[in-house]
A and B are shown apart, each in its own frame.
Chain A
Amino acid sequence: MTQQPFEQSAMEQSMQSAMTIGSGPAPVPDGDPILSVRNMVKRFGGLTAVDDVSLDIYPGEVVGLVGDNGAGKSTLVKCVSGVYHPDAGRVIFEGKQVRFSRPIEARRAGIETIYQDLALAGNLDVAANIFLGRELKNRYLFGVVKSLDNKKMRAESTEVLDSLDIKIPRMQLEIEKLSGGQRQAVAIARAVYWNAQMMIMDEPTNNLGVPEQRKVMQLIGTLKSQGVPVVFISHTLPDVFAATDRIIVMHRGRKVAEVATSETNTTEIVEYMVGARHQPGLDGPTD
């Protein structure tokens, strides 16, 4: 599948990066990016939260998006997922320029966002949450009367949970009776079931115990192996290093570095995060 020139250029790039460790651009995977952000700007009054940021996400890769509090990471992804409307810049998803006015439009297009605050209804069970807003129905009397097809929704839910190796004590349990990690797993399973082409995870391991964080990290690996790219926002650098292929660092609204995970280290990332250095070719902090 891969064409020779691509392979070469990727190799060259990676060699280049290896020679000038920590300062070269990160190697990009083959093929076309699934998502491209071009020169995105988002202002809140006088504050420029996202300042001329461009990035590409390729199929099957996990990209870490890191930065200090207020660096603009969450604002950036919210501009992609339709929560915020960018003041300037373009989003190209699967080759087409898109503009989502609401999060549901981004979801329908295949960009799923997993939030730290768990966008699940705690009083409903697993299947009801996976199918929330898109319930399967039985039709009677020529489609006039419609009832929920709970049996099928439960069966499909069990199937998708199994495919991700997620274990839930009982499917009938309400979400609020599950552990935080199990809930996050259900949220991810929901995204997978609805055919997410790309997943944005905003601090998905916050408020989770260590073993549960591991489960979420494992799920990120599963998604990657299934070809679903993940944008992973986190403060926990060990997690970022464990899960990602590439790391994008933001500082005060600007992208200050983009490096291959295998060619950098925590110290360097922290230096980028605090604004002590920035990559050549990328603008550093303006002040």
Chain B
Amino acid sequence: MASNVGAAAPPEPRVNQRTQLILTISRVWAWVFLAGLIVFFWISVSYTTDGEVNFLSLRNTMNVLVAITPVLLMGLGQTFVIISGGIDLSVGWVMGLASVVSAYVARDLSAGGLGDAPAIAIAFVVGVLAAMVVGLINGVVIAKLKVPAFIVTLGMSFVARGVALLISGGNVVGGQPGGMRTFGNESLLYYVSGHEQGGLYFLNKPDVAGEALRGLDRIFSWPVVVTAIVVLIAIFILHRTQPGRHTYAVGGNKEASLRAGVPVDKLTIMIFMGSAMTAGIAGVLHTARFSGGSSIAGEPLLLSSIAAVIIGGVSMFGGRGNIMGTVIGALLIAVLITGLVMLNVEPFWQFIVIGVVVILAVLIDQARDLVVGRAESQ
């Protein structure tokens, strides 16, 4: 914190070169770390497999992107929540709830004779709305009844879990229309290599079979496309709109925001509904990818999504962070997991590595605050 006893006339900004360097490092460290990890896995995977496996292959890159979509989606909503000074522990089971609900709707509408496209579209909307009901309850109880977010969302997590399990009877909801599988697994672009049909295909799946099928790569499958769109919308809302600005303000100083006329209660409700919405989208995408609704789909991913947000530099005290940080955080986790798997490291090590990275990320942020604070109080 800047010293209060200082010159009356504000001194010229004295950001010296060393401080500038540290600031730059703290701003880009996650990118650098991510790039370093990719290079490390690229070399080490290639070495341990005698050049057989390429970590940076198109297929593996796309696998990493698909694998990270649910964690990233939940992380996007969570970014808003944590910047505003809250926490949402319910998103894991909310994702499961949305998955189950969307699966039921798609199955029954399709069985009722509705075409795949409208059935899936309605299932998508209903699944996400089911999730948002939980978000609405979270937001209202937190904003109006002043119960801490940690407690409300913990409670609603159990409620969502119970409802999802009751609806599904604890089973996977199958019987999905064929279009569901297509939506979850087909892609925007296709690339065929080493074949007379070789080349890039847009939207149009090339008709290849046999040996050529091995050379077919899906580039940007629909879940990745949907997630990318949500990322862009989240960036716009958080960084370019009034509700986004207010999200930071409430996280920075709730009392000041209230005095300034920020509709804090309404904003809180919107933020928790948004968080449930991104989790709901993740749930519907899960149904699509695996052609079945699963109530337990999101539960193992909750802590990973919070980890992604923290690695991305969002402060748990609120008021600080951005969407790109969360994107990098999610990518980092996906690269770590995929890389360790490809190195044949026992899977349990993933948890240890991610845990260390989370703590490391926060340490770097604290070191930056120390340096920056010192530099600017000079």
Contact = CB atoms under 8 A, between A and B. Distances in A.
B252 A179 contact: no
A181 B12 contact: no
B252 A124 contact: yes
B253 A209 contact: no
Given A122-B252, A124-B249, A148 B6 contact: no
Interface stretch (A6-14, A42-50, A131-139, A243-251): A131-139
Interface string A225-255: 0000000000000000000000000000000
B13 A170 contact: yes
Interface in A89-120: 103-104, 107, 118-120
B248 A176 contact: no
Interface in B1-49: 1-13
- Which of A132, A168, A180, A215 has the most chain B CB atoms inside 10 A of its CB? A132
Contacts of A137: 242
A137 B256 CA distance: 21
A240 B252 CA distance: 33
A169 interface: yes
B345 to A, nearest CB: 39
A133 to B, nearest CB: 4
A119 B259 contact: yes
* Contact residues on A (Cβ < 8 Å of other chain), bracket: 35 or more
A181 B372 CA distance: 20
A107 B258 CA distance: 12
Given A123-B319, A133-B246, 17 more contacts: A104-B261, A119-B253, A119-B260, A122-B253, A122-B319, A124-B248, A124-B249, A128-B245, A128-B249, A132-B256, A135-B242, A147-B240, A148-B240, A168-B10, A169-B12, A176-B2, A212-B4
A211 B253 CA distance: 27
- Which of B5, B7, B10, B12 has the most chain A CB atoms inside 10 A of its CB? B10
B261 A177 contact: no
Interface in B251-309: 251-253, 255-257, 259-262
A207 B260 CA distance: 22
Contacts of B236: 147
Contact of A123 (B9, B242, B252, B262): B252
B21 to A, nearest CB: 18
Contact of A209 (B4, B248, B256): B4
A169 B260 contact: no
A152 interface: no
27 contacts: A103-B259, A107-B259, A121-B248, A121-B253, A121-B257, A121-B319, A123-B249, A123-B251, A123-B319, A124-B252, A128-B248, A128-B249, A132-B249, A135-B245, A137-B242, A146-B241, A147-B241, A148-B240, A148-B245, A167-B9, A168-B10, A169-B10, A173-B376, A179-B4, A179-B10, A207-B4, A212-B4
